[in-house]
Amino acid sequence: MLRLPGLIDIHVHTREPGATYKEDWDSVSAAALAGGFTTILAMPNTNPPITDLQTFDQALQLAQHKAHCDFGQYLGANADNAQSIASLAPQAAGLKMYLDQTYGPLRLDDMRQWMSHFEYWQMNRPIVAHADSRSLAAVILVAQLFNRPIHLAHVSKAEEILVIRKAKERGIQVTCEVTPHHLFLTQEDIPAIGTGRSEVRPRLNTPEDQKCLWDNLDVIDCFATDHAPHTLSEKDGSNPPPGFPGLETALPLFLTAVGNGKLTLDEVIARMYTNPKRIFNLPDQPDTYIEIDENQPWVIQSRNTYTRCAWTPFEGREVQGQLKQVVLRGKAVYKEGRVFAPPGYGQSIRTIG
Ligand code: DOR
Ligand code: ZN
């Protein structure tokens, strides 16, 4: 039996408030435990979005009552809340800035808006940017102008990871995450998954982009799922929303890649525990670990999942390594397919300790 630290997913869409038919704090945090994650950080593009004290408090209260695992909540940057949310930084997982096309209303198009968030958000509190292609280069520059670190969400293209490499070589304080779907799927998988189901932002890329991500693994600080559940009827409908569920498939995909010699177990632990914990300044979870049967092969299937959306783009994929148990603060919270932590067992990462 392999024992690892409780994993951290810094990029999760909970859908609560506003779209609990897709997911809620109960189902998302159960899915997290079933995937080996004992901490999740929740994105602010809910309905309403989390952009002020009232919506932030509501989200934290929902999480506190319902979460089975530990949690943090991001605040969303909008055109006019830079000043008003700055004092909430100590309670937030971080500030999320959407600079490119996304799901939901949060998008900052004018660089003056970026600048006021860099000006007001408390120093040394995390800022995460959703920035594709040239806006990724732009936001690295603007963060530099304000002399503060920036974390780049779901980097997916060759040009992006190569710009980040250069920035890091220059000593610029930039960190980044890559999703399992950009590492394990490409455009070539779209026919098998289905066109509507394959919609995701950033889009699935070319095999060349994918290879470049793997070739620059040393530049990737974190693996983050960007768990973004939508129902199958939405995905198969006329206007499919972008997003894949990912919490319950990430660990087996990476363990399988370890088995195939694509990366080492230490590299996985760094990207799913050590680096996320450092970058987001997360507290220790005492007596917390996960246990895995390393060699057990199994097939990913959408039945038996905790995510409410009940599908996966990895359907039918053969993987190796099965999660057997999750222990969080001394309690067996997940064992052999069942979640034992009651709703509310999870704690806020900004109030622990
Ligand atoms: O595919 C995506 N889904 N990309 C995003 O930026 C948002 C996310 C969602 O919330 O569904
Ligand atoms: Zn996202």
pLDDT of residue 352: 57
HSE (CB half, 13 Å, CA atoms) of 128?
Answer: 30
| Residue ranges of domains in the chain, CATH in brackets | 2-339 (3.20.20.140)
Predicted confidence at residue 238, as pLDDT, reads 97
- From 226, 247, 307, 308, give the residue whose CB has the most ligand 1 atoms within 8 Å, as the site to mutate: 226
For ligand 1, atom 3, name the residue with the nearest CA.
Answer: 243
Residue 31's pLDDT band (boundaries 50, 70, 90)? very high
Q: Is the pLDDT of residue 67 over 70?
A: yes
Residue ranges lining ligand 1, Cβ < 6 Å: 13, 45, 102-103, 130, 200-201, 228, 241-243
Atom nearest to 102 CA in ligand 1: 6
Cβ proximity of 224 and 9 under 8 Å: yes
How many angstroms does the Cα of residue 224 sit away from the middle of ligand 2?
9
> In this structure, are residues 164 and 212 in contact, taking their beta carbons and an 8 Å threshold?
no
Q: What is the number of the ligand closest to the CA of 203?
A: 1
Mean pLDDT over 21-48 rounds to: 98
Which of 181, 187, 188 is closest to 312 using CA atoms?
A: 181
pLDDT per position as a tens digit, 115-163: 999 999 999 899 999 999 999 999 999 999 999 999 999 999 999 999 9
pLDDT tens-digit profile of 250-269? 999 999 999 999 999 999 99
Distance CA 188, CA 192 (A): 8
Q: Please give the span between the terminal C-alpha atoms of the chain, in angstroms, as a whole number.
A: 30
CA of 102 to the centre of ligand 1 (A): 6
The answer to whether 328 touches 340, Cβ cutoff 8 Å, is: no
What is the model's pLDDT at position 159? 98
User: What is the pLDDT at residue 41?
Assistant: 98
Residue 346 has pLDDT above 90, yes or no: yes
Residue 304 has pLDDT above 90, yes or no: no
What whole-number distance in Å separates Cα of residue 182 and Cα of residue 244?
A: 11
Ligand 1 pocket mutation pick from 103, 155, 177, 205 by most atoms within 8 angstroms of CB: 103
Residue-level pLDDT at 353:
45
Q: How far is CA 329 from CA 17, 31, 49, in A?
A: 28, 18, 31
Q: Give the pLDDT confidence of 216-243 residue by residue, as tens digits.
A: 999 999 999 999 999 999 999 999 999 9
Starting from the CA of residue 201, give the closest ligand: 1
Q: How confident is the model at residue 15 (pLDDT cuts 50, 70, 90)?
A: very high
What's the CA dihedral at 255, 153, 118, 147 to 10 degrees?
60
CA of 295 to the centre of ligand 1 (A): 33
Tell me the two tokens of residue 150.
């920036």
DSSP codes of every residue in 53-84? HHHHHHHHHHHHHH-SSEEEEPEEP-TT-HHH
pLDDT (tens digit per residue) in 183-193: 999 999 999 99
